[in-house]
Amino acid sequence: MVKKTVFLLLLLIAGARAGNLPLIGLDSKGNPTEITIHKNILGSKMKEAVGALSESTIDSLDKKKLSFYKVSIGTYVKMKLGLGSVITGTAEPYFKLYFTKKGN
Binding residues for another protein (CB under 8 A): 2-3, 6, 9-10, 13, 17-28, 30, 32-35, 39-40, 42-43, 46-47, 50-51, 54-55, 57-59, 61-62, 70-72, 74, 76, 91-102, 104
Nearer to another protein, 85 or 102 (CB): 102
**Closest distance of CB 80 from another protein, Å:** 14
**Closest distance of CB 62 from another protein, Å:** 5
Nearer to another protein, 16 or 83 (CB): 16
Q: Are 18 and 5 in contact (CB under 8 A)?
A: no
Residue type present at position 56: S
Supply the DSSP symbol for 59: H
CA distance readout (Å), 29 to 3, 24, 32, 90: 47, 14, 9, 16
Dihedrals φ, ψ of 46, to 5°? -65, -45
* Local structure of 22: helix, strand or coil: strand
**Closest distance of CB 61 from another protein, Å:** 5
